[in-house]
Amino acid sequence: MMFCAEQIQVFYGKQQRLFDVSLPAPEEGDVIGLLGPNGAGKSTLMRALAGFQKYQGKIEFDSDLQAQLAYMPQNPPQESSLLPYELLWSAIRSLGLAWSDQQLAGKIEVLFRRLGLSEVAMSPMYSLSGGKRQLVGLAMALIRDPAIMLLDEPTSALDLHWRMVVLGLVQGRVKEQGGMAIAALHDLDLAARYCNKLVLLKQGRVIAVGTVEEVLTPAYIAEAFNVEARVECGSQGFPMVEIIRPL
């Protein structure tokens, strides 16, 4: 898989927001988690990767991979009178994919069922809760089976059940179909459970990159989040973070 992001710098006017940020070289099936406090630069980096933010540095994709990139922004479609079903239908038809109406309807039905959206498929977007809108945004990213998923806070409006469903679905997709996902997340325990590589940011700089075990250490957590933490292996084999006190 040809994808690289190296020495990324972003400026908003004269203010620098990202400082020489590089991501680990991906492999098929990777789920890379971007972690960090508010204002660390996660969303800025995601917009740069997706092509919606000017940057300096190097971001390269295989040409066919770039055509299969799906980006889910932090704020999904909201004040719209369109129906979720219409949004997905029009999104696919705008790409010119050679799916029959029957094939597309079947894909939408399966995805909506897995994401708990079947009952609101014909409700206008403005009438949906924040969590349902977020699930519709994820469905728009998943519907065409992308090779690369860029997911900016895909679970921020969801309860714990749906956070686990969504991240499990993303993890399963890349494992079964290949490709990769990059997800900006806040929940350290869920990142440890569903990601296999992590990038920890603070104030626009990378302070740690590597495996879950390499990044989720008390020292790095203290540096990034200004809290004292304990990290232990949970009963299912995943690191679990216990926050003890603010520093």
pLDDT in tens, 202-227: 999 999 999 999 999 999 999 999 99
Report the DSSP pairing between strands 31-35 and 56-61: unpaired
Provide the strand spans (E) within 126-196: 148-152, 180-184
- Tally of residues, the chain: 247
Is the entire prediction scored with pTM above 0.85?
Answer: yes
Instruction: Tell me the per-residue pLDDT of 65-84, one tens digit each, with 9 for 90 and over.
Output: 666 899 999 887 666 888 99
Third-level CATH fold of 1-68+148-160+180-246: Rossmann fold (3.40.50)
Contact 208, 214 (CB under 8 A): yes
Residues paired with 16 in a beta bridge: 11
Specify the 3-state DSSP secondary structure of 138: helix
Terminal CA-CA length for the chain: 41
φ/ψ of residue 190, rounded to 5: -70, -35
Angle at 124 between CA 119 and CA 130, to 5 degrees: 75
